[in-house]
Every structure is written in C-alpha cells, then in structure tokens.
Amino acid sequence: MNFKLETKHLKNFINDCEYTAIQPFVNTAHELLTNKSGLGNDFLGWVDLPRNYDKAEFARIQKSAEKIISDSGVLLVIGIGGSYLGSRAVIEAIKSPLYNNLKKDTPEIYFLGNSISSTYFEEVLSLCEGKDVSVNVISKSGTTTEPALAFRIIKDYMEKRYGEKAPQRIYATTDKAKGTLKELADKEGYETFVVPDDVGGRFSVLTAVGLLPIACAGIDISKLLEGAQKARHDFSDPDISKNDCYKYAAIRNILAQ
C-alpha cells in the first residue's frame, strides 16, 4: 500500500518562495524531534517504536491473538481516543471499513468505551449472542470514565457468561506497574500488555494498544512493523522536496497562515 502526495492543485495557492521560506522551520522541527530536545520530549518514544520495541511482549501479543482467533467469534475492544482509533483505522484501511460484515476466519471486532450510550451497548451485546467473546480493555490508569464504565458492564457480562473461566478471555493493556486496571488485572489473572510511559495515546498504534486488535483482525503485525521501519527510514530527510510527510505538514502550515 503506497501513498503519494499530490500538489498540482495547490499551484494557485502556494508559490515556490513559500516552500523555501518554511524549510528552515521544518529543519528546526526535525532536529527537535530526532534529538528529542523540545517540549514534550518525554512522549517521543513513538519515533523509535518501529525498531525499538519489546520483542518478548510482541511474541505474547501474537500468541494471544492466535488464541482469540481460535476461540472467539467476537472481540470487544474497550478504550477511548487513541486507545481505539489507531487500531480501528488500521483495520479499516488494510481490511475494510465493512470488516465485521465480510466473511472471514477472524472475529468480529466491536469498540466500546468511547461513549456511554446504553443503546449502543445493548446492540453490541445482542451481536454477541451465540458467539464466544473475548475482551481487550485498554487504559493507562483504568479510571477514565467512559472505558471504566464500559469495562464494569462487560466484566459483569463475561463473569455471568463464563464464570471462573472469564479471566482467560480478558486481556488488559495498561500501565506496566501501577494504576487501577493494572491492580485489577494482577488480582484477577488477566493477560496484560503495556502502554509505554513515553508514548502518548494518539501515537500508540504500534504498541500493544493497537497491535493486539490489529492482529486479531488477521493482519500480519510483523509486516506492519517492517513497513513502519521502512517509512521511518524513507521519511528521515527534512528536505520537503524529498519528504512527503514534512511537505504535507508544511503545506498545512502555509495554508493556515
């Protein structure tokens, strides 16, 4: 899957002088990003994720995805913001926006915890009837209102349906050492994965936050990371005449001004 930035329709809006004028600002931004020296640098772990990730956890993600695919017809992903938008975007881009409606050998995937609509909850649970279910709850703290409420409801549903075997079907992606969800996961015996301290929610798709649901959709996450590694290399040049990513950001900035 390749993308190319098309700029021919911008000729009447942006001239070459404006590209030249903004290049020094792009250079500065690139330096701050790659040297991790600017504001918010403690959340720049995503820059190196394609090549610097926990290989042992990655293997556990793959193993858990294989289990979910083999024993579940539905995966409920509970999260808000970046905790669900990243994986949903990848699944819809690589598979289809109609992924759940297509005939496949992988579970249907429904996202909860991004609203408190009781109607939506009832509809999702009705779609689970007659199918085995697994749950991936994603929250750094476990106290964000919408996913916390959603998990309380789904946890009760799973325990009523599967009894003492419910924990074997619940996977928690959370802080590595602390927080309400981490404490509950350790107590109940859920399989757990880590939300890295230096990766913000909006940039977490290549962590366990995004990789587990993506793998459950039958997407090869090893190849996904290989592609990310290639992109990291290909888009490492700050010259906007050679780097579509920086050029796109520069264009947005010029047009905004």
Q: Token pair for residue 117?
A: 């609509």
Residue 107: which of 150, 74, 67 has the closest Cα? 74
Please state the rounded mean pLDDT for residues 39-51. 89
Q: What is the CATH number of the domain that holds 164?
A: 3.40.50.10490
Nearest-angstrom CA–CA distance, 57 and 25: 38
Residue 172: which of 202, 153, 148, 146 has the closest Cα? 148
Q: Are residues 208 and 246 in the same domain?
A: no
Give pLDDT tens digits for 184-237: 999 999 999 999 999 988 899 999 999 999 999 999 999 999 999 999 999 999
- Model pTM score: 0.92
SS3 135: strand
Q: Are residues 79 and 155 in the same domain?
A: yes
Q: For residue 183, tell me if it sits in a domain.
A: yes
Q: Are residues 143 and 198 in the same domain?
A: yes
Give pLDDT tens digits for 140-158: 988 999 999 999 999 999 9
Domain boundaries, position 235: 222-257
Whether pLDDT at 92 is above 90: yes
Residue 66: which of 217, 225, 223 has the closest Cα? 217
